[in-house]
Structure 1
Amino acid sequence: MSKHYDMIIVGAGLSGLLTAWRCLDVNPDLSVTVIERGARIGGDHTWSFNLTDVAPELHDWIAPFIAYRWDSYEVKFPKRKRTLDITYCTGNSDTLRACVQPHIDSGRLTVMTDTAVSELGTETVTLESGEVLNAACVLDARGFEPNDDVFLGYQKFVGHVIKTKDPHGVTRPIIMDATVAQLGGYRFVYCLPYSDTEILVEDTYYTDGPELQSQEVDARIKDYIRDNLGVKDYEVVRREKGVLPITLAVDESRNWEALNTIGIRGGFYHAVTGYSFPDAVRTADNIADAIDLMDINISQTLKAEAAMEIQASRRSHIKDETFLRLLNRMLFRAAKPEERYTVLQRFYGLNQGLIERFYAGELTWRDKARILIGKPPVPVSKAMYNLSEKAFIRREREKRKSKS
């Protein structure tokens, strides 16, 4: 007789582990099994966010995840340099694993690594070995996968964590240094000073395709460390790289309700930045609240409660990010590639409260008007051409047909 699980989460990355952690914290009678294709959970990543991106009532919960925090950060553009007094936080794979370890030790969280999955259902997981696992609820938290109903640009990055012989001199994060050569698209360098002699230097650029030439970016990082930071004597202690989706348009006519998918694969990320931590926190908390069943039989209602919450959150997320997708179309399709930085240069001249609300996904209609009012940093004709999301989708589908 096969074992029946309460909850199975396929994918042990950020969203999968945050959801397991939150659900287990909130629901003392729940057990969770996480299935991971790789050799260990959590991967090897860094995740950053503004503290204001996360609801205040969740700050205590996420505190163990945070490895570093700073009271302010800088942005740099050819015609604007600014320090923003916004608390900035970073966690990583090590802190994420540490957050779930107590539940692993207690036996309530079971981890299956080096385990490939061939098929997912709402109540079943079929492993490549042929074994079928049954659960009251199955969540798909695997990595990002493009689909025909979401139209994308991409943010690509390579990062080097270096240990310097002498202090590197960076006292607060530089989340965008766009004074660097743009190289045919929006490019900036991102710096996180972990200590006086340890710093992450990351080269990030926005392009239409997902291809990442990491060796070329490695060379650019070395140049930046030498020429911009003035550091010559150092060792690279860790490297990371990634490709994040930037959403230009979403076909809302798709039957999203059929998907029990969370995390970046489910579209839960900031459309402009590709940042996924705040949305992963919200999703984890919403699912945990939805299945906080107390004396109710978990196996009878878990699937329905979690599915309804995911579906409602996805519909709300798609609607809420309509304006952000518009901004992305302005950046990717209306602005000249070498002048895309001017869109962000103008944005960072706005008031700090608006910038905080932008990253938190809480823009008001006044904020949206303020972003659009004034001399546009893109040609008006191209801006108007990309204004309608439905027309954009229609044109993109026609392009795909002509290429096929």
Structure 2
Amino acid sequence: MYDFIFAGAGLANTLIAYEIKKARPQSKILMIDQRKEFKSNSHTWSFHLGDLPAESFESIAPFVDCRWEKYSVNFPSYTRTLDLGYCSIHSHNFYEKMLTHVKDSLQLDTRIVSVSKNTVTLQNDYKLQAKYVFDGRGPQKQNKSLGYQKFVGFDVTLKSPTPQIPMIMDNCCLQSDGFRFFYTLPWSEKTMLIENTYYSTNPKLSLEKERQLLYEYVQQKGWEIQKINRQESGVLPIIARYPSQENLFASGWKAGFFHPTTGYSFPVAYKFARELAAAWNNDENIEKFYANWVQKNKRNKSFFFLLNRLLFKAPPQQRYRILEKFYKLPPDTISRFYRGEIMKRDIARIFSGRPPMSISKAMKCFFEHMIIKPFMKGAS
């Protein structure tokens, strides 16, 4: 009998396994994944420094590849640099470093047939038992999507040095197929991630077209690419409501371990891992802990699901105005937004003024979602 079995060895389950082993090394855990190797070369996880408490950042700092003390945003009407920290993690480095901590608990190249409250069933009806089974394999059925966050990125070496401040949103570009911006992270003087990101109502991603737009952006900036070191791309659903819980214990996407509007997943996954490990170490009731955590997470995210509706109800050419206005707000409001801990006064600031759509459409979003009371409850 295991203490924990983790179905899937993605970001969330790996973080949980790591924190549980740190909190209580004698814990008996098993992490099962169908991949043949414990690695990934295609992701960059980023987060704002304010997304995590200071003590949490100290714990995860060895896995952070780059940390900047400020970042910039750029819109047609202004450019702003914010003194808010920003961090990024390369997935291949993350898995390589994590392997030394979780390798004794890994079972790779194994297909999971089914998962229940305390049992994981493998092929040939072989069953494994645990006090707690966390399913982090992704949703079995997709929630209805309002739209999609799509991205194509190049990790490049440039011929000349570049600015050393991240540009997390450069909106000074043609707004085709929805709200669009470019995103740049300088790893060193001459290495950088350049990403073309946009919010669209359809899931189709034309790699050739988006790569061409990346080349045009690089040319516009006066940069010259010496070498493309890595490419990444993806399509993330922007959903209308909190994911339905298919299992008693879920993790990752199906448990809502992401920011509904921005798609940032690392901070939520890591906060959950830290809190679960602490509860386990203190012999708390894990079922009660999990139920309370899910309810709190749902409540904190309700506002953002409403904001998603507003974003996609606005005319495509005007969607950028929501973010253009947002980044003029005080730094503490911006920080709470990304942390997912929005307050009443923040909501008032975000919604004040004229929206980029008719009032009737804006009100329709409120009534469609029916979440005004939940997202206001407990805020101050």
Q: Give the TM-score taking structure 1 as reference length.
A: 0.86
Larger mean CA deviation between 257-266 and 339-348 belongs to 257-266
Return the alpha-carbon distance in structure 1 between the equivalents of residues 345 and 113 of structure 2: 47
Per mean C-alpha deviation after superposition, the further-off stretch among 21-30 and 375-384 is 375-384
Q: In the alignment, which residue of structure 2 is the partner of 1:314?
A: 294
Greater shift in the superposed pair: 267-276 or 206-215: 206-215
Aligned to 2:120: 125
The residue type equivalent to 1:363 in the other structure is I
Please state if 1:156 is matched with 2:150. Answer: yes
Distance in 2 (CA, whole Å) between partners of 1:370 and 1:123 is 46
- Secondary structure of 1:240's counterpart equals strand
* Corresponding residue for residue 273 of structure 1: 262
> How does 1:93-242 map onto structure 2 within 5 Å?
93-104=91-102, 107=104, 110-144=105-139, 146-148=141-143, 151-167=145-161, 169-227=162-220, 229-242=221-234
Residue 37 of structure 1, aligned match among 30, 34, 45 = 34
Q: For 2:288 and 2:188, how far apart are their aligned partners in 1? A: 44
Deviation at 1:98, TM superposition (A): 4.2
Structure 2 regions of 5+ residues with no counterpart?
Answer: 372-380
Asked whether the equivalents of residues 346 and 377 of structure 1 are also in contact (C-alpha less than 8 Å), the reply is: no
- Cα 1:12/1:257, change in 2 over 3 Å: closer
Per-residue deviation, 1:194:
0.2
Match of 1:79 in 2: 77
SS at match of 2:322: helix
**Distance in 2 between residues matched to 1:93 and 1:290, nearest whole Å:** 27
| Preserved CA contact (<8 Å) 1:262 1:310 | no
**3-state SS of the aligned residue for 1:342?**
helix
**Which amino acid counterpart does residue 257 of structure 2 have in structure 1?**
F
Among 350, 369, 385, the alignment partner of 2:329 is 350
Q: Sort the Cα spacing of 1:91 and 1:77 in 2 relative to 1 into closer, same or farther, 3 A.
A: same
SS across alignment from 1:143: coil
Residue in structure 1 matching 2:87, options 86, 89, 98: 89
Q: CA separation of 1:239/1:145 partners in 2, compared to 1, >3 Å: closer, same or farther?
A: farther
Contact 1:194 1:200 in 2 (8 A): yes
Segment drifting more, 124-133 vs 278-287: 124-133
Measure how far apart 1:321 and its partner are. 1.3
Name the CA distance, whole Å, in 1 between partners of 2:204 and 2:291. Answer: 31
Please give the residue correspondences for 1:272-311 in structure 2 after superposition, counting only pairs within 5 Å: 272-293=261-282, 305-311=285-291
Alpha-carbon spacing, 1:166–1:390, altered in 2? closer, same or farther (3 Å): closer
Residue matched to 2:64: 66
Q: 8 Å contact 1:7–1:135 — kept in the other structure?
A: yes
| Alpha-carbon distance in structure 2 between the residues aligned to 1:249 and 1:10 | 24
Runs of 5+ unmatched residues, structure 1:
295-300, 393-404
CA change 1:215–1:259 in 2 (3 A) is: farther
Q: Deviations over 1:58-89 (max 9, x none)?
A: 12111111100001111111112111110100
- Asked whether the 8 Å contact 2:17–2:102 carries over to 1, the reply is no
Match of 1:401 in 2: none
| Preserved contact between residue 187 and residue 204 of structure 1 (Cα < 8 Å) | yes
Asked whether the 8 Å contact 1:249–1:389 carries over to 2, the reply is no
Contact 2:133/2:249, CA 8 A, preserved across alignment? yes
In 2, Cα distance between equivalents of 1:74 and 1:383: 29
Which residue pairs with 1:15 in the alignment? 12
Contact 1:262 1:283 in 2 (8 A): no
Code of the residue aligned with 1:84 in structure 2: it is: L
Q: Deviations over 1:131-167 (max 9, x none)?
A: 222222110112355545x544221111110112222
CA contact (8 A) 1:185 1:207 kept: yes
Alpha-carbon offset, residue 275 of structure 1:
0.6
Conserved 8 A contact 1:283-1:310: no
In 2, Cα distance between equivalents of 1:58 and 1:391: 34
The alignment's TM-score, normalised by the length of structure 2, stands at 0.91
Matched residues, number? 370
Q: CA deviation at 1:190?
A: 0.7
